[in-house]
Amino acid sequence: MLIMLVTFFSITGCEPTRLAAAPAHPGPALTSPAYRLTEADSGRTIIVHRGDTIAVTLRELLAYRPWSAPSSSDSKVLTPIASPVATPAPGLTEGSFEATATGIAQLHAVSLFTCSTEQACPNLARAWIIEVRIS
């Protein structure tokens, strides 16, 4: 899976907007009324209702740069909203979304591998992708 992501990012130039076209394999659906997602939820599918909100908190991974801001593949279905925390704690990337219409959208973020200037750097990245189904 990691090799596929590395190849994907090498071809696309690490553009997170293209991640929506290649979602991760969906895991078990989350149907809890508390929609708090972390980096551990990557690859899952969640089922929400119109009007529900989703909070995303991604922790910086060892040897990787901070995550890009979580974004929605379809802001008409899953709309970004102001986060309740103005400035997240160091090492955290946060985002909040509201399910505003029926449909399917993906939430996604990317974290690139960190290299020192003295070493050859592999073009590695981690992708975080969640499929959200809104009814």
pLDDT digits (tens, 9 = 90+) for 70-110: 999 999 999 999 866 566 788 899 999 999 999 999 999 99
Query: Sorting pLDDT into bands at 50, 70 and 90, what band is 122?
Result: confident
Closest CA to 133 of 51, 47, 75: 47
CATH number of the domain residue 84 falls in: 2.60.40.2020
Q: Which residue range(s) make up the domain with 43?
A: 2-134
Answer yes or no: are the C-beta atoms of 5 and 22 closer than 8 Å: no
Query: 3-state class of 28 per DSSP?
Result: coil
pLDDT at 86: 62
- 3-class SS letters over 50-103: CCCEEEEEEECCCCECCCCCCEECCCCCEEEECCCCCCCCCCEEEEEEEECCCE
How many residues comprise the chain? 135
Cα–Cα distance list, 4 to 23, 27, 124 (Å):
12, 18, 10
Query: 3-state class of 22 per DSSP?
Result: coil
Q: Supply the mean pLDDT for the chain.
A: 77
Q: Which residue has the higher pLDDT, 8 or 104?
A: 104
Query: Sorting pLDDT into bands at 50, 70 and 90, what band is 34?
Result: low
Query: What predicted TM-score, i.e. pTM, was given to this entire model?
Result: 0.70
pLDDT at 121: 72
51 HSE (CA, 13 A, CB side): 0
Please determine, for residue 11, whether its predicted confidence score (pLDDT) is greater than 80. no
Total of domains in the chain: 1
